[in-house]
Amino acid sequence: MDDKALCLMLLEYLVSDDEDSMDDDDEEDHAVLTASESIVLYSQSLYDKTPYHTSVLSGQGWIQELINGHAGRIKRLTLKHVGECFQRANDTLSKYFKEILFAFSSAPIHTDYVHLPSANDSIPPEIQNNPKLFPFFSGAIGTIDGTHIACAPKSSERHLSRNNKEPAIVGEQY
């Protein structure tokens, strides 16, 4: 017997009872059946899933759409969103993301392709030409994209790496 048939049977039983002639046993049966009906109706909503991400693209096609599409689509992707697209568990995705991150942050990729700005480099035009940024970040040689990296600076330098939300951050170098 499926959930819908059970719900209908319970509803018919509850409607057919004459509530004026109930004794204590009938009231207990009524309470049990009402609770059972509630449980069945609640559990049915958990099993009838509606797909959340309904894009026709998956895998390589989805990656190409992210790379070649609107620049804002590739930002703020969560493991949950990527897991839904690739039909993989979040733990699996996290494991492979860490492996790729370590590969890109170690030799030879990091030493050959990552070049940090030096103190002699000029101020980037994104900072220099933006009146909202230039007075405040005039000496910045690092990122301006909101990247925050947790750090543990010396106690004498902690005031330099504070913001209003996190304890200590490193995002810009002065």
Residue 133 and residue 127 in contact, taking contact as beta carbons nearer than 8 Å? yes
At residue 151, φ and ψ (nearest 5 deg) are -145, 170
Q: Are 91 and 99 in contact (CB under 8 A)?
A: no
DSSP 32-43: HHHHHHHHHHHH
By mean pLDDT, which of 15-24, 77-86, 132-141 is the weakest?
Answer: 15-24
Measured distance CA(40)–CA(4) in Å, rounded = 8
Six-digit token string for 31: 């309470």
Average pLDDT of the residues in 120-128: 76
Domain boundaries, the chain: 3-47, 60-113, 125-170
Residue 95 has pLDDT above 90, yes or no: yes
Q: What is the mean pLDDT of residues 5-31?
A: 66
pLDDT above 70 (res 81)? yes
Average pLDDT over residues 66-88: 79
| 93 pLDDT higher than 80 | yes
Give the per-residue pLDDT at 145: 57
Average pLDDT over every residue of 168-172:
48
**pLDDT tens profile 48-64:** 666 555 667 777 888 88
Closest by Cα among 167, 118, 126 to 145: 126
Is the pTM value of this prediction over 0.85? Answer: no
Residue whose tokens read 């109930």: 22
Q: How confident is the model at residue 144 (pLDDT cuts 50, 70, 90)?
A: low
Residue 169, pLDDT score: 47
The amino acid sitting at 167 is P
